[in-house]
Amino acid sequence: MSAANHVAPIISFVTVLLLLGCSTPTDLQPAANEQKADRIIVVKSAHTLSLMVNGHVLKVYKVALGRGPAGPKGHEGDHKTPEGDYVIDQKNTQSRFHLALHVSYPNAADRKRAKAEGLNPGGAIMVHGVENGLGWLGSLQHDVDWTDGCIAVTNPEIEEIWRLVPVGTPIEIKP
């Protein structure tokens, strides 16, 4: 039996153990005294996501972004994180990432720009945790931009953001 044949079952076993330890929490509701965010501001150059309440910062998170070059998302597959004004329009517990908040990209300006270039603007932009099974990466995931255009935080952070951000919350993504 080759070394590769010995390694595959070990990798499968470790993956199952990681998945069991990284299941979706059942208590994702805010505590009675937790203040909900009314706006999200992402500053790409600073790699930060700030939850805002009445113009004041509630919490700031370090984020990983799209692995594409600097600038706004132009089209599907460019691996860039969009720039502009959007809304968190749905929550997804069944994502391949540990919880995901869908961003309403593309907006009208994004669609117009992509259409003028004859390209598809794309659309699966999320604020999410680490890919399922890789939660052990923790804050290491912040050290490099690795997404296809999304905004990524650690799993404990996305659980907190999930509780504090209702569907309909505006999100502004700045350069």
Average pLDDT rounded to a whole number, residues 56-66: 96
Is the distance from CB of 102 to CB of 150 less than 8 angstroms? Answer: no
Residue 127 belongs to what domain range? 34-174
Residue 160 lies in a domain: yes
Q: Band of the pLDDT at 108, cuts 50, 70, 90?
A: very high
Task: Output the six-digit token pair for 169.
Answer: 């919350």
pLDDT digits (tens, 9 = 90+) for 134-168: 655 666 567 789 899 999 999 999 999 999 999 99
Asked whether residue 23 is assigned to any structural domain, the reply reads no
The CATH number covering residue 64 comes to 2.40.440.10
Question: Residue 137 domain-assigned?
Answer: yes
Assess if residue 22 is contained within a domain: no
Total domain count, the chain: 1
- Pairing mode of beta strands 126-128, 151-152: parallel
Q: Which residues contact 72 (CB under 8 A, 6 or more apart)?
A: 80, 82, 83, 84, 175
Is 1 a domain residue? no
What is the number of H-type helices and E-type strands within the chain?
3, 8
The dihedrals phi and psi of 163, each to the nearest 5 degrees, come to -70, -35
15 domain-assigned: no
Question: Does residue 40 sit within a domain?
Answer: yes
Q: Would you call the peptide bond into 175 cis, given omega within 30 degrees of 0 as the criterion?
A: no
pTM of the predicted structure, to 2 decimals: 0.78
* 26 within some domain: no
